[in-house]
Every structure is written in C-alpha cells, then in structure tokens.
Amino acid sequence: MGRWRDGRGTLVVQRSGGAAVSVPLEIATSYRARTKGLLGRDGVEGAILLSPANGIHTFRMRIPIDVAYLDRRLTVIAVRTMRPGRLGLPRLRSRHVLESEAGAMVTWGVEAGTRVTVQEQEQELPE
C-alpha cells in the first residue's frame, strides 16, 4: 500500500463475484488538500481519497456526496450518503475516507466489506 502523495490515480473496486471497476481518483494527503476536499465544487470526476482521515463534514459543500470509510487494509467499513451542511461521525477503525458524488458508489459496487486498491499515477518530471 505504501504512502501516497497529493495527485491523481485510479481507484480499483474489487466487486464481489464480478469484474473490477476502475475509477479516476484524486489523492489528498497533505493537510491543505484534505481540508479543501470537495468544498466549493459542483461535482467531481470519479472520487477523492482523503488520507489519513476517519471522519468528514459537508459544511460549505454544494452537492450531496457518498462517503466510504476505509480501514488500514483498504476494506470498506461503512458507506453513507451525506447532504450539504452535515457532520459525519468518525469511525473508530477508519484510516482513509473516499468521497464521490451521491449515488456513484452504488454504481461502482462499493459497500461494507468491499476491498479497494489505489494505483498512483507516475509524476512526470520536468525536462
């Protein structure tokens, strides 16, 4: 699993009894990136991973979102849909949080017990 950096990647959802689903992913590991998250956005392409995190809020958000709490092995502990202006309770074993537009996680097959993996994009170095 390793440590991630702010950037982009792919979330791979291991569906039970089906093919894996690949989803575009933003990775937010710095304090600044985690604090901003989806605040002020009208939508997100794919999902955003906040790490480390065990809880979130939707204050100042414009859209309802799906929230998946992940343990240290990237297994989904719980999935919730949250409207703007709400405070999500921290989950005891949660180490990471996935956020997406409301309804997206059902489409991808993300539910409690689902295992996901994160593939980071290689950073392009300037010449």
In a domain, 126, yes or no: no
pTM score, two decimals?
0.86
Contact 117, 75 (CB under 8 A): no
In a domain, 127, yes or no: no
**What separation in angstroms does the CA of 113 have from each of 81, 91, 110?**
17, 15, 8
Angle at 79 between CA 75 and CA 80, to 5 degrees: 160
Higher pLDDT, 9 or 34: 9
Domain count, the chain: 1
What is the domain-level CATH number for residue 96?
2.60.120.1140
In a domain, 2, yes or no: no
Q: Which of 25, 27, 23 is nearest to 36 (CA)?
A: 27
pLDDT at position 79: 96
Q: What residues make up the domain containing 24?
A: 7-120
In a domain, 70, yes or no: yes
pLDDT at position 39: 65
The mean pLDDT of 3-15, rounded to a whole number, is 89
Q: Tens digit of pLDDT for each residue in 66-113?
A: 999 999 999 999 999 999 989 888 888 999 999 999 999 999 999 999
In a domain, 14, yes or no: yes
Mean residue pLDDT of the chain comes to 87
